[in-house]
Amino acid sequence: MNETPNHATPLDDATASAGGAAAPTPTLEDQLAALQAQLTEANDSFLRAKAEAENTRRRAEEEVSKARKFAVEAFAESLLPVKDSLEAAIAIQNATNEQLLEGTHATLRQLSAALERNKVMAINPPAGTKFDPHQHQAISVVPAEQDANTVVMVLQRGYLIADRVLRPALVTVAAPK
């Protein structure tokens, strides 16, 4: 009777019970290759995302540029009737002063309408309005029968474009009593 001693280990038992096929343990080379593949994939993804971000930035810049261009174009187009009216007035040979004055008023109305359509609004504060250094520029301080630091008179209108001051109104301001 020949008995062979059983030197089976728990790992051998697990392998045997799994059908006899041992799952190979990944070698360091296999692990390195897998990590390099992941790194390459991550790098490719990063480069694609970077390129997409650059394309998006470039498209946004182009859109802003086009918006500016077309905004100026629309503004210029709204001023063309004013130019036409001025040229027509100059072409008249025998106009009376009354006709010239009437034509000038009509042209001014055209210009005002064009500016208003493009959100250019006049700053023309009535007398007694509190002085606002953001919209008014004091040219002089004069004694007046109204509260101190209020507008006495507008010397030149100012203008806003979409709530931004293009030019402050030139005003005289009431001196403290």
pLDDT digits (tens, 9 = 90+) for 120-134: 999 999 999 999 999
Q: How many domains does the chain have?
A: 1
Q: Residue 14: pLDDT band by 50, 70, 90 thresholds?
A: very low
Phi-psi label, residue 4: left if phi above 0, alpha if psi -120 to 50, beta otherwise: beta
Q: Residue 6 falls within a domain, yes or no? A: no
d(CA 132, CA 124) in angstroms, rounded, equals 12
d(CA 150, CA 132) in angstroms, rounded, equals 9
User: CATH number, domain at 171?
Assistant: 2.30.22.10
Q: Residue 160 falls within a domain, yes or no? A: yes
Cα angle, residue 103 at apex, residues 101 and 107 outer, rounded to 5°: 115
Q: Residue 27 falls within a domain, yes or no? A: no
Q: Residue 70 falls within a domain, yes or no? A: no
Range of the domain at 152: 120-176
Name the packing angle between helices 28-91 and 97-117 (round to 10°): 170
Q: Residue 14 falls within a domain, yes or no? A: no
pTM: 0.60
- Cβ atoms of 137 and 168 closer than 8 Å: yes
Beta strands 136-142 and 169-174, pairing class: parallel
Q: Residue 84 falls within a domain, yes or no? A: no
pLDDT digits (tens, 9 = 90+) for 31-62: 999 999 999 999 999 999 999 999 999 999 99
Q: Residue 66 falls within a domain, yes or no? A: no
- Cβ atoms of 75 and 120 closer than 8 Å: no
Q: Residue 144 falls within a domain, yes or no? A: yes
Most confident of 66-75, 84-93, 130-139: 130-139
